[in-house]
Every structure is written in structure tokens, then in C-alpha cells.
Structure 1
Amino acid sequence: MATQERCDAMKKNWKEKGVTESFNVAFEGLFDTIRTERHMKFHCFCTIIVLILSLFLDLAKAEALALIISVTLMWVTEMFNTAIESCVDLVTEEYHPLAKRAKDIAAGAVLVTSMNALLVGYIVFEKKIPIYLKDVLKVFKDSFQHTTVLVFVVVIMLVIIIKSFFDKGTPLRGGMPSGHSALASSIFTIITYLTHNPKIFFLTLILVVLVMHSRIEGKIHTLFETVMGGLLGWGITYLILSIINM
């Protein structure tokens, strides 16, 4: 009876979760998969490479859509595979033909989506890869919006990867490093790069400090986490801008 009451209370609490908490739970599942599954780390690395290549090359909408769908399917099937393996291990730790069948089928689904992703990547990039580095950099020099998108993508992906290795806080609150501080510092670096006006420099610097202070004051991050986030955002942004404008 007591067990049933606890289950009912847990169900009630689950239904009463807010929108932010629901997103936290979803991101926790994503981060846990990246942190614990070797294959997911590889998928994360490949996704970053594909995103960077996509920004370098002049892809048609259909090609970009095919890549987005393929990458998404790869992530989804890998997460379903991990979920199925966890459920099977929860039910039985001993060898059972049905347990083996469930894991093998789930692994087969990952294999199919992997082959699909490789095929789509080959079709899309096969004639576009032979491109000179100076032409690639010229794309970013001529269009600063591409550079900005690249910076934000790299900063966000690095924050996600680093957070996945630290078992502290939730994906949207707390943890190491502070994603808000990283993005704020990245935006500050981009703005100061675009203008040499000292007034704009100090105004954006004040905004960065306010963002970092709000994370500390709200007890969401420690001073160390916010500082590391700020240094990460500044360092990655400065590095990318320096490489592009060499």
C-alpha cells in the first residue's frame, strides 16, 4: 500500500513539472548518453565536423535538409538503442535469447542509420570537398554572419561536451562551465571585433559582467564556473576570428 502511494506521488510530481524542468530532464538524458556512451561521443564529434563543413560549402536547401535529417536520425537511434539496452539490463542481468534479440535489433537500427548517414554525406560532399582553404576562409571573410554562426555553434557544442563530463547541476542550470557566460563573452568578443568604439566596448563589457553576476547571485553557478565559461567563450571566439583573418 505504501509503495502504491509513493508511485502515485511520483506520478503527480512528474505531471506537475514545469516547462524548464521538463527540458532539464530531456537534456539530462542527452548529456548522460554523451557522457556514458563511447559511440555517442563519436557521433557528437562527427556532427561538429559536418556542421563546420556545411558552413564552408555552398549547399543547396535539399542537401542541407538531407544532412540535418540524417544526423538527427543517427542521434535518435543511438539514444533509443541506449534506452533499450538499459531497459533490458533492468529486467535481467542473465543471458536470455529475447534479451539478446532486443539488443541486436536495436544495434541493427543504429547500423542502418549509420550507413544512411554515410551515404548521404558521400553524395553531398563528394564533389564539394576538393576546395582550397583560402576559398573556404574567403567565405567567412566576405560574410561575417557565417563567421558568427560558426562561432556560436562551436561554443555551444563545446559547452555541451564539457558539461557532459561533469556530474553537477542540470543541463540548463549550474554545471561546469557556465553556458550563459560563454555565449555572453563570445558576443562581447564579436562586438568589440566589429567596432573600435570605446563606449561600445565598455557597455558590452558591463553586460557580460551583469550576466556573470546574475548566474552567481542566483546561486546557479560558482564564480569559478562563470569565469571559466567566460574564458571559454572569449578564447574560442578569438581563436576562430584570428584564423579566419590570417
Structure 2
Amino acid sequence: MARNVLKPFAVAMGGVVHAFKTQRHMRFHLYAVIVSILIGLLINLSVREMVVLLFMISLVVVAEMFNSAIEAVVDLVQPTYHPLAKFAKDMAAGAVLITTMTALVVGLMLFLGDGRWEEISLIIAAQDPQIRLAPRLLLGFFVLFALVVIGKGLGRKGQVFKGGLVSGHAAFGFFLAGVVIFVSKNLAVSLMAIFLAAMVAQARWEARIHSVFELSLGATLGGLLAVVLFAI
């Protein structure tokens, strides 16, 4: 009797373990879960804030598992290319994207807190209108895109959006991490930004799209540009 009761739980846990072993995005989300919880404990989030954080994290993990399940079923039913199969996969991936972006926004709001948001607003408002955050951020995107394209052109492999001498994903990831560090001036948020950028780079390495050297070049390029635009 006890074995029958525990069997569904064991099957469900087997699904979680299988997803963790076979889906790199699932591993990324689970790593982010651990880091988010540790940061929440470090900055003493209230019980209500921790509940909100855990709820958003669980939504992301559940969405990723549904996405993986839908992809598996579609591949089983339609192993060859079909527009409807592509549509189903794209919709599932879009659901994960929306859930993840919402969770990131909620997480940043929780980690920064009301006082920190007000402080950042005052800092931005006190700056010269010509060098406020948004223009510098847009300038950084354009400059970094140009530098990445030039860097990829210097190599002998890859395309603008995949592969190449400089990893664009690592460059933009560490550029945004640098922006978060210099604007928020919050240790917990800064560590989370660096962790997310590192996970983006790790995913590109795991997919064998870039080497460690190419990822390091991209990360260095993005980090230096953030220093130039937001720290000097």
C-alpha cells in the first residue's frame, strides 16, 4: 500500500531528474533557483517576499518542464519538419520566455527594495539629461554590437548571430551585468547579475558554439564597455 502511494511521487521525481540531466535550460533554471534563494536569505527578505520569490521561481521551472514535454511529444508525433510542429514549439518556448522575464523583473524588485529604487531614481534624475541611463544603455548596445560584428569578422568561422571569434551572448550578458553592478550598487543584485551572465556563457560553451577563449573575449569586451560608459 505504501509503495503504491509513493510510486507517483517517485515517477514525478524521475521526470524532474531526467529534465535536469537532458535539458541544459532546466539546469540553468535550477541553478538560478538556488542562487535566488540564497540571495533572498542573505538580504533578509520577509516571509511574504520569499513566498512571492518562490512562487515566481516555481512558475519558471514548471514552464520549462512543460516546454520540454511539448517538444518531446511533437518530435514523437511529427519527426519531420511541419509548420504546425514548429508553431507548437515556438509557442511553448515563448511561454517560457514570458515567464522568465516576469520572474526576473519581480526578483529584481524584491532584491532592490523600495528604498533602493528611490535611490536609483534620484541618482538618474540628478544626472545631466544628456548622459542619463537610457541613452548610455542604447549607446552601449550599438557600440557593443558593432564591436562584436568586427570581432566575428576577424575570425575564420561562425556567423553574426552564431559562433565566431567573439561571443556576442557573453559580451551582452557581461555588459548588462556591469550596468546592473554600477547602477544598483547592491552586492546581492550584482552577484546575481554576474551569475546570470556566467550561465549564459556556460550555455554557449556547453552547446559547443564557442570556446572558453571566445567566451572570455566577449565577456571582457562587454565588461570593459560597461566600465567606460557607467564607471568612468
- Tell me the TM-score range normalised by the shorter chain: 0.3 to 0.5
Question: TM-score, normalised to structure 2's length?
Answer: 0.48
Question: TM-score, normalised to structure 1's length?
Answer: 0.45
